[in-house]
Every structure is written in C-alpha cells, then in structure tokens.
C-alpha cells in the first residue's frame, strides 16, 4: 500500500512561481552585497557538534538539530551515562555533528581555519539555509535561508554605518519602503546593568527589557524581579522605561544614567557617531532609530546591535538583524579580530513582499513564447524556429504533441505565456509564422527567415 507522502514539520516545497520570487530577492541582495565589496563563501550544512554548541546560549543549544552518529552508536555509550537518562550528557556521546544554526558561527570558524589565506579586513557574504528545531509559526520555519554579510578585522565604526546603508539599499531596491533599522549597543546595556548593580544578570536583564514594547513596563519589571534583579536595581533603571524624544535627546538621558560607567559611555559615544554619520549621509527609504530596549538574544554581540522591522502594519517579526562581535573568533583560538555583520531573513522578506504585493508581475512569466504543434511536418519547421528564438535569448518552447488546438492554447493561457506562435500547413507553404499576442488577441505574420524581427519587437 502506498504511503501518504509528507514533509517534516516546518519545512516547505517551493513551486516554480515561489522559486522565481525567492530568486528575485536573492539576486537583489546579492547584487548589493557585491557592490559593497563582499565576496561569497559557502560552508557545510553541518558542522562538528562542538563548533556549534554553547555559542547561542542555553536556548540555542536546545534548538540545534543534532545528527545521530553512524553505526552502532548506542553500544559505545557507557552504562552510567546511558542509565542516567539525561539528554544533556547522553547527546554528546551519540552525536558529533549538528546542522548549521546560523551563518555567523560557521563564518568565525572559517576565518580561524583560513586565517593565513585571508586578506584582512575580510568582507564575505553567504546565502545558505540554516536549521532550527523550533516550533513553527507564521514566518518561523525549521529550515530557512539567511543572507549574511560580515566584515572581520576592522574596528572602525564606518563598518556599522556601511551596514545601515546596505540595509537601506537592499530594501529600497526591493520596493519595500518604510522599514525601520533599529540600533542599540551592547556596551550601553552592559553599562546599565553595571550602574544598577546587576552586572551578573546582564542576559536576563536585557531579555526582559527587550519585551518592553510588547508586554509593557509592569510585566517587564515583574520578569526582572523574578530573575533575581532587585527592586532597588530596577528603580535605578527607571529612566529606561520612559525614554522618548529624538535620538540625541535619548543619548543625553543615557549619558546622565551612565556617568559612572566607562563602558556605558563608550557605547553611547559609538551610537552617537553612527547616528550622526547616517544623519549626514542620509538614507533612501529606511529610517534608523535608536532603541535602547533592543537586546537580541545572541550573546556573542559586544557592540552595535541591529534589528530590522517591517513597515508599519505588517505583522511580522524582524526581517533582519546583526551586530558587532569582538571576540567570536577568540572561541576558536584567534584573538583580537573584531567582526560586524548583518543578516537578511529571506523567508520573512518574502512573506512581507507577498503581503504588500510588491513582487514584479514579470516574475510570473516563465516562458516568453510557446509554439503550437500542428503535426510532424510543421513540427520540424517549428523546432527550427524555436531553436532560433532560443539562440536569440528568448525562453521558447514547442508544444510536444499535436494535441487539439484548444488544449494547446489553454495550456499557453495557464502558463501565462504572452506570445503563441502558429505554424500550420498554410504558414509552412507560405514560409511564414503567425504570432498571437495572448493578451490582446492580435495576430501578426512574419517570414520564417526573419525570426530576429519578432524577437526584437518583443524585447
């Protein structure tokens, strides 16, 4: 009995129309990556277990897809570990490989392994799928694409500025107006944690703070309390909850709050410089916004943090994110190499463009011209004509069988082919072919020797 086919939860098949749209987005992102001087690399879809584990926090470890070892892996586990039934200690013994969780950590690994062949500063881009063992939701999949651009070996804040411009360039080109690039700085968050006396609870503090616009002040404070941050400390952080006004006003408030924190003031200065530079240069369609509550869970970020929100009114999580990480390669043994990078969430951008109907209509056309098939004799002449059109760069096809006229036209109609060629007995004897415009219904004859004339007209 045939089994009912299915695909794993959170994965998808892509139809020709969907692939066309996805390629359209990728091609635009790639174009801008290249014009900004980034070079492509690719890394394996799975890495060593130890390369990935521990880089994304406790939650991240849970969401990494582990690959079971080959062979009789269970017999190699010692009895104590086996009978303890603890996944945490058993997993490393039965799995030594895991699917890529993001593109940043594999890149850091790549940089360390190839440090002697890389010219720093190294700007690379990478467009590949990543996997997360998450529970699917709208815009959240277990297999999805990230499009990353990172620079390593450059400390200059100009890199941050450049990434804001890059975001703006890509979203402008995609016709996606009104995106917001939110920026914050980990040093500011560290500074705040420091001055309120919750330095050791930085992660818990930022994770809670990050939810401010979503769950409100009271609930954020409740969560902080629950995580062990004292009432006194929360009171000291009070200015954060009421931050408002322009970026420079907010920066002023931050300076007051952080007067006793060297690192905090450093963060403020960095933000100030990035915001001022962008202000001077200007952006096309995006806006850059300071958001002191922006945290981002990934704990390898040390400086600037970015997150991109879709235009107002589109219900979608962030469509991009990134930041600076000063010591990611340090974990793999290469010290003092700073990196900054951003990521575009292809699958979410797709959903947003779809919702706002921003895909070019031309993407629906997968074939420029279809030649109808009238039989063997006409078919031969048609095949020659189609070959000639293909050589001219047109997407051309010959209907494979001499099916009923109506059936062939219906097929052309459903494929959305704009032009159909009729080359029947009459045309064959006259040495011509007739082109039918499927939209208007108009028909026009051309001589067979002069296929270029037709090709030129529709281009």
Q: Is 115 annotated as a binding residue?
A: no
Rounded to whole angstroms, the Cα distance separating 295 from 252 reads 20
Find the binder of RNA among 179, 296, 382, 446 (CB under 7 A). 296
Q: Is 104 annotated as a binding residue?
A: yes
The contact pattern for RNA, residues 344-383, with x = CB under 7 A and - = no contact, is: -x-xx-------------------------x---------
Is 220 one of the binding residues for RNA (CB under 7 A)?
Answer: no
Is 425 one of the binding residues for RNA (CB under 7 A)?
Answer: yes
Find the binder of RNA among 200, 287, 395, 426 (CB under 7 A). 426
Is 343 one of the binding residues for RNA (CB under 7 A)?
Answer: yes
Q: Is 146 annotated as a binding residue?
A: yes
Tokens representing residue 3 in the block: 């089994």
Q: Is 103 annotated as a binding residue?
A: yes
Is 10 one of the binding residues for RNA (CB under 7 A)?
Answer: yes
Is 66 one of the binding residues for RNA (CB under 7 A)?
Answer: no
Backbone region of residue 71 per phi and psi (left: phi > 0; alpha: psi in -120 to 50; beta: other values): left
Size of the site for RNA (CB under 7 A): 64
State in angstroms the smallest separation of the CB of 420 from RNA. 8
Give the rounded distance of the alpha carbon of 439 from its chain centre.
36
Phi, psi of 55 (to 5 degrees): -95, -15
Distances (CA, A) of 441 to 409, 416, 420, 444, 455: 12, 14, 10, 10, 18
Among positions 189-208, residues that touch RNA (CB under 7 A) are: 207
State in angstroms the smallest separation of the CB of 290 from RNA. 18
Is 85 one of the binding residues for RNA (CB under 7 A)?
Answer: no
Is 106 one of the binding residues for RNA (CB under 7 A)?
Answer: no
Among positions 228-257, residues that touch RNA (CB under 7 A) are: none
Binding site, annotated residues for L-histidine: 102-104, 132, 146, 150, 296, 300-301
Chain contacts with RNA (rule: CB under 7 A): 4, 6, 8-10, 57, 59-60, 62-63, 102, 132, 134-142, 144, 146, 207, 210-211, 214-215, 296-298, 307-308, 317-321, 343, 345, 347-348, 374, 404-407, 409-410, 412-414, 422, 424-427, 434, 436, 438-441, 443
């Amino acid at each position: 009995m045939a089994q009912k086919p299915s695909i794993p939860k959170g994965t998808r098949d892509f139809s020709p129309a969907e692939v066309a749209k996805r390629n359209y987005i990728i091609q635009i992102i790639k174009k801008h990556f290249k014009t900004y001087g980034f070079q492509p690399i690719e890394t394996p879809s799975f890495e060593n277990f130890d390369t990935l584990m521990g880089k994304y926090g406790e939650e991240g470890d849970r969401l990494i897809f582990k690959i079971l070892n080959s062979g009789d892996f269970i017999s190699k586990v010692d009895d104590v570990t086996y009978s303890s039934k603890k996944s945490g200690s058993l997993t490393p013994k039965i799995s030594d490989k895991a699917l890529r969780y993001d593109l940043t950590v594999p890149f850091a690994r790549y940089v360390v392994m190839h440090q002697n062949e890389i010219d720093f500063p190294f700007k690379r881009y990478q467009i590949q799928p990543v996997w997360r063992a998450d529970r699917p939701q709208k815009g959240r999949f277990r297999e999805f694409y990230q499009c990353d651009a990172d620079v390593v070996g450059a400390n200059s804040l100009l890199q941050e500025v450049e990434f804001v411009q890059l975001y703006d360039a890509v979203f402008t080109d995609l016709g996606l107006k009104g995106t917001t690039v939110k920026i914050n700085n980990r040093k500011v968050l560290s500074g705040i944690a420091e001055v309120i006396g919750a330095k050791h609870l930085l992660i818990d503090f930022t994770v809670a703070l990050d939810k401010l616009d979503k769950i409100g002040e009271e609930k954020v404070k409740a969560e902080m309390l629950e995580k062990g941050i004292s009432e006194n400390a929360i009171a000291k952080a009070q200015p954060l909850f009421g931050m408002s006004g322009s970026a420079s006003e907010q920066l002023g408030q931050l300076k007051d709050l952080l007067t006793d924190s060297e690192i905090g003031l450093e963060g403020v200065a960095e933000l100030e410089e990035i915001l001022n530079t962008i202000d001077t240069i200007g952006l096309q369609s995006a806006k850059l916004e300071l958001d002191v509550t922006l945290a981002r869970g990934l704990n390898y970020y040390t400086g600037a943090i970015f997150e991109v929100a879709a235009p107002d009114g589109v219900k979608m999580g962030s469509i991009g994110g990134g930041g600076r990480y000063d010591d990611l390669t340090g974990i793999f043994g290469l010290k003092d190499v700073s990196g900054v990078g951003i990521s575009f969430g292809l699958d979410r951008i797709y959903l947003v463009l779809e919702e706002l109907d921003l895909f070019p209509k031309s993407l629906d056309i997968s074939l420029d011209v279809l030649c109808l098939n009238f039989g063997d004799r006409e078919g031969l002449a048609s095949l020659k004509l189609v070959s000639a059109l293909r050589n001219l760069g047109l997407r051309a096809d010959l209907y494979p069988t001499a099916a009923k006229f109506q059936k062939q036209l219906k097929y052309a109609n459903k494929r959305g082919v704009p032009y159909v060629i009729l080359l029947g007995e009459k045309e064959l004897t006259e040495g011509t072919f007739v082109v039918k415009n499927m939209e208007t219904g108009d028909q026009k004859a051309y001589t067979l020797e002069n296929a270029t004339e037709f090709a030129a007209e529709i281009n």
